Structure 1
Amino acid sequence: MNSMTRIPLTQLDAREPKSSGPQQARLPSAADVPRARDTQFKDTHGRRFSYLRLSITDVCNFRCNYCLPDGYQCSDKTEPLTLEEIRQLAKTFAAHGTRKIRITGGEPVLRQDLPEIIATLKQTPGIETVALTTNGYKINQHIDNWKAAGLDQLNVSIDSLDPQVFQTITGHNRLHEILTGLDRALELGLSRVKVNAVLLKGHNGDQLNRFLDWVKTTPITLRFIELMETGQNPDYFAKNHLSGESIKQQLLANGWQQKIRSKDAGPAQEFDHPDYQGSIGLIMPYSNDFCSSCNRLRISALGKLHLCLFGEQGYDLRHLMKENKQTELESAIRHLLQDKKASHFLHDGNTGAIQHFAQIGG
């Protein structure tokens, strides 16, 4: 887990993360960043950020072999963001163009105040969509409360529809329970239900047809995500990485049509088929244009802004998440966005500061 040391802005570079001493960053004042007529957060590459991924804990109770094969290891007992800090953060982002907030972890369901967090975000003026990404833990017990609190969209990680393979990947025999919860989510009429499956050559690389059979009668968006290299998984990555391009070619050869991407779409390439109730998405971070449509920023559970999933160690903004610090928080975010790179550096084998995805929710 990241420490709460505030890192000087001048000492951080997305390509070569560096450590720093215990000195506090000099964050800009309002005078440092001229106010533009267009108040939406944007970077120097013309990308606008309407989407915030907010981690509310880095604790996870699954042991997915591509993320936390040894389970969660606590290295910092600092408490995660409070409900009031989350409220102030949401107000600032909403005032500057953010319309969607996705709650992530670790595993966000482990926070008992999750319904209150959902409600707080949904009640923030300007926030149109509140989404949740979960490993599905006890989803069938909680989904009604989440929906009542204001949840709009749900993403659930299901890396295999084979119970034995699912248990091998995650360390848990919960597939049936999770699928039951998904059925309930569909019954409740959430605006969109997605299932994420990480492509793993040694585990689910030959299960495309099984997934497609499921999507034929299930109105979800199934997204295949290429395995990405992190600081802790280089050997696993080399053994299990599977390109999404091979899946794309199989889909096209079997009558699937690629959807036209909207101007504000995220990085997923999406496909549909007239004979299928569900659709397919592909997230391929190693494709050439993956970062050109970036529209999201990330806040860790400890209040650090991450400009890129595979970037710097994070910029501590937690001390600005207060009622009387909104102007300073806004100015700090604008200032930091000037350093956002045009792309990640995964193609160069540089995974940045991230050690595993539970740190900032992928």
Structure 2
Amino acid sequence: MLRLQDNLGRTFPYLRLSITDLCNFRCNYCLPDGCEEHHHKQSLTVDEIRRLISAFARLGVEKVRITGGEPTLRHEFNDIVSTIKQIPGIQTVAMTTNGYRMDERIESWLKAGVDAINVSIDSLDARGFQTITGHDRLQEVLNGIKRGFQLGMPGFKVNAVLMRGHNADQLPDFLNWIKDQPITLRFIELMQTGDNQDFFNQQHLAGNTVREQLLNSGWVRVVRHKSAGPAQEYYHPDYRGRIGLITPYSPDFCDDCNRLRVSSLGKLQLCLFGDQGYDLRDLLQSDQQQPELINRIRNFIQLKQDKHFLEDGFTGGTATLAQIGG
């Protein structure tokens, strides 16, 4: 099997695939005015996705995370999951969702082949959740997690973006929530994008502040699996759940990068904050184009840089995280 490897020797078993840039939430750190511009109807077709993932699987990708926007807004979502699941070499199909109607639909997701679910819950307070997301749907999301456990899900990952004025004081509530549940709660450091500079300046909270609180309370860092995401995970013997920290402003954050991204329009994004995407869509029109597609991907990987330059205020072409799914 061919293996994707860049000039720094980093390998890439993990692909994040956006299947739409449309989102129906209005999170204040991402789309405070709602999704005004999107290319939902021009998104990759199911056949194009099959060809894309088949090529990446031949290059050593084992894990695919389906993202958006909100990926479940695609009416073919379950078809996309089952298609990817059947591709030889793909071991894990994960998804990231805002939890919209999750309580009603999670059973169909699991039947389609979803292996792992990340869901965003930025506050466990209903009023705080509504303030952040623009929707009074916290209980709906929590019910979705409960339903998932009833259906046999071994655990969930829950994403919460750290913000000074919204949830920075809610760590005790989150810890109490995961004490008896197999939930990995991932605190994500707020990232600056092209459209949120003022909000970032007001709300950014360094993830190291949470790390210090955890270490002082007996939490211990876990060794990361080769196909894991960017979170540094911590466990505590008194808790069933775990804590993950995603701290993109840490100086060594990019050293062990193992993931690539493809946009809903078929552009390979070498970094979340890359200046441009590299088009693959013209080579997704027939199965006979696989050799050329594989060669193009391998050539583009050599353009991947050693870091993202976020600490210098560079946000590349990422205006909002909904463009490429974070």
Q: TM-score range by the shorter chain?
A: over 0.9
> Which residue, out of 98, 101, 107, partners 2:70?
107
> Which residue, out of 110, 114, 118, partners 1:151?
114
Match of 2:31, SS state, is: coil
Question: What residue number does 1:327 align with?
Answer: 291
Aligned: 1:47 with 2:10: yes
Q: CA deviation at 1:266?
A: 3.4
Matches of 1:131 and 1:293, distance apart in 2: 20
Cα contact 1:266–1:293 (8 A) shared by 2: no
Question: What residue number does 1:190 align with?
Answer: 153
Cα contact 1:264–1:293 (8 A) shared by 2: no
Cα contact 2:16–2:64 (8 A) shared by 1: yes
Distance 1:265 1:74, change over 3 A: closer
Distance 1:140 1:78, change over 3 A: closer
Matches of 1:202 and 1:94, distance apart in 2: 42
Cα contact 1:218–1:277 (8 A) shared by 2: yes
Matches of 1:121 and 1:111, distance apart in 2: 15
Distance 1:75 1:217, change over 3 A: closer
Question: What residue number does 2:220 align with?
Answer: 257
CA RMSD of aligned residues (A): 1.2
Letter in 1 for 2:127: Q
Aligned: 1:336 with 2:306: no
Question: What residue number does 1:304 align with?
Answer: 267
Letter in 2 for 1:157: S
Number of aligned residues = 325
Question: What residue number does 1:33 align with?
Answer: none
Aligned: 1:207 with 2:170: yes
Q: CA deviation at 1:109?
A: 0.9
Cα contact 2:14–2:227 (8 A) shared by 1: no
Question: What residue number does 2:35 align with?
Answer: 72
Q: CA deviation at 1:112?
A: 1.1
What are the equivalent positions in structure 2 for 1:156-175 lying under 5 Å apart? 156-175=119-138
Question: What residue number does 1:353 align with?
Answer: 317
TM-score of the aligned structures, taking structure 1 as reference length: 0.88
Cα contact 2:20–2:40 (8 A) shared by 1: no
**1:264-306 deviations in Å (ceiling 9; x for gaps):** 5432111011111100000000001100111110000000000
Cα contact 2:21–2:38 (8 A) shared by 1: no
Question: What residue number does 2:89 align with?
Answer: 126
Q: CA deviation at 1:144?
A: 0.6
Cα contact 2:261–2:271 (8 A) shared by 1: yes
Matches of 2:139 and 2:64, distance apart in 1: 28
Show structure 2 runs of 5+ residues with no match.
none
Letter in 1 for 2:325: G
Letter in 2 for 1:125: P
Question: What residue number does 1:20 align with?
Answer: none
Letter in 1 for 2:54: K
What are the equivalent positions in structure 2 for 1:228-307 lying under 5 Å apart? 228-307=191-270
**1:286-328 deviations in Å (ceiling 9; x for gaps):** 0011001111100000000000001122111111113111111
Identity fraction in percent: 58
Cα contact 1:152–1:192 (8 A) shared by 2: no
Show structure 1 runs of 5+ residues with no match.
1-37
Q: CA deviation at 1:355?
A: 0.1
Distance 1:245 1:311, change over 3 A: same
TM-score of the aligned structures, taking structure 2 as reference length: 0.97
Q: CA deviation at 1:263?
A: 4.7
Q: Which runs of 4+ in 1 moved over 6 A?
A: none
Cα contact 2:22–2:39 (8 A) shared by 1: no
Matches of 1:158 and 1:67, distance apart in 2: 14
Cα contact 1:310–1:344 (8 A) shared by 2: yes
Q: CA deviation at 1:77?
A: 6.5
Q: CA deviation at 1:260?
A: 2.4
Structure whose alpha-carbon radius of gyration is higher: 1
Match of 1:292, SS state, is: coil
Cα contact 2:25–2:135 (8 A) shared by 1: yes
Letter in 2 for 1:358: A
Matches of 2:225 and 2:36, distance apart in 1: 40
Letter in 2 for 1:72: C
Match of 2:42, SS state, is: coil
Q: CA deviation at 1:217?
A: 1.6
